[in-house]
Amino acid sequence: MNARNFIRRGITALAMVLGAASQAQAANVAFWSDYYSAASFTALNATHTVTQVTVANIDAGALSAYDVLVLGHLNPSIPPTATTCSQIQSFLAAGKGVVSEWNGATLLIQPAAGAYHAVTNPCNLFAGTAAGGFNSFGIDLPLTITAPASPLVAGLSNPFAMAGGSEFVYQLTGLGPEWSVAATYTGGGAVFPAVLSAVRSGGGCVALSPFDFFDAAGVGGTAQSNMEILLNNMVAWAARGPASCGRAPAAAVQPVPTLERPLLAALAGLLGVCGARLRREGFELSAAALTWRVEPPFRAAPGSCPAPRCFSGGTVPLAEGGAAPEPTDG
């Protein structure tokens, strides 16, 4: 491998290290479900710090320690209290985020009469109605992406499905203008929201799917992968904070990426290897100015380039000399 290609590969590796360091910061996630353990969602746990919470925890003020509340598969026999709803409202007003799955929709939106497994004592934080909740339209129901630029559906094929995680579903109607729909599904000849989000006027971000996508946990294959991508997208969006949920944060408020010690060690090692290779090849990169020092036996092939790009030695500023000449044998 010649020196130029070696440098190019080194820069690519360095970019990968810096890219990994600049990813969105991990969030503290509260996970509220009466049927599922937070440990069931391996991709979520690999990205964020996730803690299981209960109605009692929420009523005691536990949400203040978290950035995002993920809720779904709630047991109607363990109803939220007025305090639960007040705590969630305060959580959102502080600019935090809520991610809701399946019957979590009936906590946020008024359930229709006869809605299946609807939450008792709903908080009704949004206008609208959540009807159904059954598996009325079959298993592995496809979700059609209608807003491909939405971060909620990034990395998902169109359409996508989640096996038993796209089976039981609510029909959401009468929603307010604060909602943006990223994907839909068709049931009974009508089209309904399948993945949607809202920036609440009172503060906070809510990402919601009326599907039972928690049910894809542990099934493996594409269904589980789609579920994990969707869930992580929703959490990442909701975790952005009051000024930027649902849109790219302004450049002025972007934090400067920091490198953890393992990344710093990897970066130092990479630079050391690059430096050693460059010295063996006869190149020296000046710290004072971006210059190439070309030492014998480097020379341009006869007739390959005109002056001033051909040198027998010396220091050549990149801005003047352009790309460093390739080394030749002999």
Those residues with Cβ within 8 angstroms of residue 291's Cβ, 6 or more apart along the chain or in another chain: 285, 315, 316, 317, 318
Domain around 323:
284-330
Question: Average of pLDDT values for 199-216?
Answer: 93
- CATH number, domain with residue 248: 3.40.50.880
How many structural domains comprise the chain?
A: 2
Listed residues 237, 253, 269: the one ending a domain = 253
Three-state DSSP class for residue 12:
helix
Taking the C-alpha atoms of residue 240 and residue 111, their distance in angstroms, rounded to an integer, is 29
- Coil, strand, or helix at residue 99? strand
* pLDDT confidence bin for 311, thresholds 50/70/90: very low
∠ CA 125-128-133 to the nearest 5 degrees? 100
Q: Supply the pTM of this predicted model.
A: 0.70
Locus of tokens 């953890």: 260
Question: Does residue 99 surpass a pLDDT of 70?
Answer: yes
On whether both 296 and 171 belong to a single domain, the answer is no
Q: What is the pLDDT of residue 268?
A: 57
Same domain, 113 and 154: yes
83 shares its domain with 130: yes
With a pLDDT cut of 90, the percent of the chain lying above it is: 62
Q: Is residue 330 in a domain?
A: yes
Compute the half-sphere exposure of residue 152: CA atoms within 13 Å on the CB side of its CA. 27
Average pLDDT value for residue range 147-166: 97
282-304 pLDDT, tens digit each? 544 444 433 334 344 434 444 44
Residues 217 and 288 reside in one and the same domain? no
Q: Look at residue 6 and tell me if it is in a domain.
A: no
Average pLDDT over residues 249-273: 48
Question: Do 37 and 150 sit in the same domain of this protein?
Answer: yes
